[in-house]
Each structure stands twice: as structure tokens, then as C-alpha cells.
A and B are shown apart, each in its own frame.
Chain A
Amino acid sequence: MSTQVVGAVERAQRIKTLWLIAGIVLLGGLALASWIAPENLSPPPGSFKERMAASYLLPWQRWPFGTDGMGIGLLEYALQGARIVTFPAVVAGLLVSSLATLSGLSRCADIGWTDRALQVFTELVGALPRLVVILVVALAVPREWRSLYPIGIAWALLAAPGAMDEAAATAERLGGARFVEALRAHGFDAVRIYVYHIVWLNLRSVLVRQGAEVMMQVVFLEIAMSYLAAARNEPSFTHGDNLHSWASLLYDGYTSLVGGVPMYHALGLGLGLVFVVAFMAQAFRMSARAR
């Protein structure tokens, strides 16, 4: 019986490792894509006739994703979109995880005022629809400084109270200050107690899940905001005019659905990239799932 239990635990551990590898590979892929993304889109050289001949090519006609109406490879759109979202999303995820860690640790260290401060913050900021706050932030950022960073950080701050509350509740279930006292009685030092026992062994699943969720939400927020701007034929709040979001792929794909423009492959690529981000977040969540 005990062998079966050990076997099941080991199998679960192997599956979690596979999820972690999948998440890291996808995040690494996005980071690599953002690193090699071109500054500007490059229309094919040659005469107008040659450029027209290179437009609306399907993936098997122009590897790997085909081209748009100007003959530009959709790969460039995918790379530029990754450049817009990857690092701001990671920063937002890390910010939420850090704030949740602090909240969990403060509950274990029995620092009372943090709970009160968190409650006030949650009541005021959490009482507003998040997108309304995000739009006010977008309005505040001067056009020449357009970037996803301020919006991503604002979103992370809005999502933080929920994550902090969950981390604090998890720390409370551990026993809070009594848990720390018990470990001190075993002779462990503060670093081992707080970093290893509390954060790594107990808060990890909450921190990774919340961080991964916010990361995904920031990417989806960027796509939504860029799509809405494209629908109004206005520049996006999230990136400069030289860059193109994944929303451009979805917008082109939408015109193919309703207008008969042969850009179904753009829609497929846009949806595929959304799926990749959702899968990556799910992979990180599964890899850190508590036993």
C-alpha cells in the first residue's frame, strides 16, 4: 500500500515537472521572440507588382505563417506582439507574487497593521471596475511614452489585494506566528523558516498561480486594448506606432471573416498565440499545484 502511495506521489511529481518544463519552454520562447523581434515591419522589396504577388500568401506558400495584404510575413507580427507583452507581463506577475509573499510573511510575523492597510486599499481600489482604472492610467501616460509597463503594473496593483488576501489566509491556516515559533523551537534560523518553510513549501502554489494568472491577464488586456484602438482606427495605448500587437492579427482575421479578405491564417495565428499564453499560464499553475 505504502509503495503504491509513494508511486502515486512520484508520478504526480513527474507530471508537475513536465508542466513546469512546458511553462518554462513557452515563456523562454516568448522571451526569445521578443528579443529577436524586428524594430519595424519589413515589406518585401521589389516593384508594386512583385509585392502584390507576395501578399495574402498562406503558411505553406510562405513559411511559417504566411503574409498579410502588404506581403509582410505574419511571423514579424507574432515576434513584435511578443516584444510588446512578454516583459511587462512578467514584471506584473512578479509584482503580484512579491506583494503576496510580503502579505503571507507579515501574517506569519504577526505584523497587524498590514492587514488593516490591505483592507483599506482593497475597499477603495478594489471597489472600482479594473478597466476603468486602467483607462484612467492610459489617459495619464503621455502619448510619447506609450508602453504596456504602466498599464501592466497598474493591473498588477489592482489584482494584488486578492492575491495578498489569499497568501495571508494560507499563512493563517499554517498557524501564522505559532508556526514560526514552532520552527524556531526546532533551531531553524529566520531565513530557513521564512524563505524555505513558509514561502517555498507552503506559499509557492498560491504565489505561482496568482503570478501566472496576472501574467496572462496582462497579455489579454494588451490584446483587448490594442484591438479596441484598431477598431476605432486610433493608435494603441500600449505600444509605439512602429510595433504591431497580436491584436492586429485578430483584427485582420476578423476582416477576413466579415469582409472576405483572404486572411484566415492571421485569425488562426492570433487565436493560436492566445492559446499559447493561456496554456503557459495553465502549465505554471499546474506545476505549482499543492499536493
Chain B
Amino acid sequence: MRIIAAVLLPLIVPFVITEILWALPGDPIDIMCPPGLCTGQAQMAQRLCMADGAWHFYSCWLSHAVELDFGRSLRVAQGEHVWVLLRESLPTTAALVGASLLPVFVLSSLASANLLPRALDYLWQAVGLVPSVILSLLAAAYITISYGAGSGDGVPAMLRLGFGALVLACADGTLAGAVIGTRSVFDEEIKARYIQIAMLRGESTFLNALPNVTPALIGQFRGRVLHIMSGAVIVEVVLDISGLGDLLWDGTLLQDFPVVLAAAFAFSLMSGALLLVQAVAEVAVEMHIRRAPAVPHDAGEAVPA
């Protein structure tokens, strides 16, 4: 089911956007290129495969997309190849999302091992109530005041990325969800009878529980990555980070359909890849459990007498 969804997702997203383009009032080519603003609609319709309906456009677009040809931008960066825009923005978004996952991963790992005080949960929850736009705005203000409005390279650029990652990790309940969610999965599992028996045998509760909670944790982790990718749109625009979210926002705002199609396709590819990773990880964990590995005795905590 998950693998099917992973394969279908990158196909469905551009299809839905294509259908939306054709469902909008007016001729799609006139929406892309309003008659008052540009000329040569007929040639453009031929070039973009828009002359023979939605399905023809979709199949044409998909066949070009396989060859990494997403057409040219109409408004965001007029005339520029969309693939070039994607290639420039993808690494930035990947770095932003990756950096924001670091504190989330570290803190939820500490929480799963019970090394993070539960009293701090209120702190994560309080910070998580603040929307990402507010935290980004404060970060943007700090950078602009410290380095000037046009500061886009060197330390200010690093700061934008760092603050952006921190905002993504903390805002909108990401960190709170990760810490509390991970801990509650372990708390529930530790109530199981096999864990109590493992404790009596002097084995580690953590190592015993880990294989069984891993599928749930992977699912949660995929949810967090998606949540962070969603928030990246806001953070990138407010903090002026030229990433995929920034590109998608500009494309939507300016109704630049080739850019929106390509950016949404890129997001759906990443989402599909995450689904695949989750499916493969679940199968791997299942195989590991079936192999019934032995848990080392000395890895566990001592059983109280």
C-alpha cells in the first residue's frame, strides 16, 4: 500500500494541478499568458502541448519531466529553465530541512532513552505554540538589524539558514510533538509483558522495545519531515532563503504554472521517497524481528532485588 502510494504520488500531484489549470475559468493558455500582457498564444500553446486538452498536456509534461525538462519560467524568472531554478533551490531546502531535523532527532533520542527531564515538556509545548511566521519574523529582524537588509552572503546567509532550521525545529509544535511522541511510544511499549520479563532477565528494556517501536517511530519521523517541509515555505520566504519553498510560493503568487508544477512535483518526489524509505525500513525491522536476535545480558540495567 505504502509503496503504491509512493509511486503514485509524483504522478497524481502534477495531474491534479493540470486538471485545476483546465478547470479554471477561461482558456489555460490565456491564464498562463494573458492576452493583454503577451502575444503568440497559439505558438506557445503548441510549444507547451496545451492545444489538445489536459490529458495531452499532462502526458507531454511528464515525458519531458522524465528528461528533467520542466519548460521555462513565465514570470518568476522569465525565460529561465525551470530545471535550473530547481537545481539551485533544492540543495538549500535540503540543507534547511536536514539541519532542522538534527535537534529534533537528538532530543527525541534523548527522550526515548529517558535522558531528558519530563519537566521540560512544558517548555517545548510553550515554544511550540508560537507560529513559525512569528519566530521567522523575529529572526529576520535580528539579521537585518545586525547585518543590513541586503545581506545575503557569508555569515548572514549562514545565520539565515541556522535560524531557519531552529525555527522549523521549534515552531508549530514540531519539537514538542517529537519529544513527547517518541517518549509516549516507548512508555506504552514498556508496559508490555515481554518487557517486564526482559527486565526480570536483566536485559535492557530499551534494546528489547526498540525493534517493536521502530515502525511507529519511523512513521512519526516521516510525519515530522513532512511538517518541516511544509513549514519551510514560510521560513524561506520570511528569512529570504532561496529554496524550493520560496520558489513554490513565488510561482503560486505570480501564477507561474511551469514553476508551480515543477516545484510541487519535486515536493511530491521527496514525499514519495520518504514513503519508500518508511516501507523499506518497516520490512527491514520485520525481518530483523523474525530473526529473533539475542539481546546481550550485560547491556541491560540491573534488576532491583
Contact = CB atoms under 8 A, between A and B. Distances in A.
Interface stretch (B37-45, B138-146, B281-289, B291-299): B138-146
B9 interface: yes
B85 interface: no
B131 A220 contact: yes
Contacts of B184: none
Given A123-B1, A128-B268, A278-B129, A254 B141 contact: yes
Interface stretch (B64-72, B152-160, B192-200, B247-255): B247-255
A136 B9 contact: no
A282 B172 CA distance: 14
B272 to A, nearest CB: 7
Given A224-B132, A228-B249, A282-B129, A136 B271 contact: no
B275 A228 contact: no
A128 B129 contact: no
A138 interface: yes
Interface stretch (A31-39, A84-92, A178-186, A229-237): A229-237
Contacts of A126: 223, 226
A17 B5 CA distance: 45
B12 interface: yes
A75 to B, nearest CB: 21
B interface residue count range (under 10 / 10 to 19 / 20 to 34 / 35 or more): 35 or more
Contacts of A224: 131-133, 234
Contacts of A132: 229-230, 233, 248, 264, 267-268
A154 B233 CA distance: 17
Interface of B: 1-2, 5-6, 8-9, 12-13, 16-17, 20, 23-25, 129-134, 137, 140-141, 144-145, 149, 172, 223, 226-227, 229-234, 237-238, 245, 248-250, 252-255, 260, 264, 267-268, 271-272, 274-275
17 contacts: A119-B1, A123-B5, A127-B6, A127-B272, A127-B275, A129-B230, A130-B227, A131-B234, A132-B230, A132-B267, A132-B268, A142-B25, A220-B131, A220-B172, A223-B131, A257-B145, A274-B130
Interface of A: 119-120, 123-124, 126-132, 135-136, 138-140, 142, 220, 223-224, 227-229, 231-232, 234, 247, 250, 254, 257-258, 271, 274, 278, 282
Given A127-B9, A139-B255, A278-B130, 14 more contacts: A127-B6, A127-B271, A127-B275, A131-B245, A132-B229, A132-B264, A135-B233, A140-B24, A220-B131, A224-B133, A228-B233, A228-B234, A228-B253, A282-B129
